[in-house]
Amino acid sequence: MALNLRQKQTECLTRMLNPSGNASKEVSYKILIYDEFCKNILAPLFHVKDLLKQRVTLRLLIDKDRKVDKDQIDIDLSDSFLFFQI
């Protein structure tokens, strides 16, 4: 059986986003924070609808400039996933 690199990468990222198992059984929503390098890894593997199936509802590029009023944001970061190049 031939090694399908794209399939293996997708499986690894799916496991990263669902460390406890099946995404459909989870009730919580997730935040995915990534850098430009990892954006280039994610883009060919996951579309927005694929990330939504994994319960990722907020995707943030860490390098993007944005104005945020910290008093208006109440986010539980316990379900956040950081994906960065080291």
Determine the Cα–Cα distance for residues 49 and 20; give it in Å rounded to an integer.
21
Report the alpha-carbon angle 13-17-23, nearest 5.
Answer: 115
- The tens digit of pLDDT for each residue in 46-71 reads 999 999 988 888 888 888 776 666 66
- The tens digit of pLDDT for each residue in 10-38 reads 999 999 888 876 555 556 778 888 999 99
Residue 46 has what pLDDT? 93
In the sheet where 80-83 sits, what is the strand order?
56-61, 30-34, 80-83
* pTM above threshold 0.75: no
Residue 57 has what pLDDT? 86
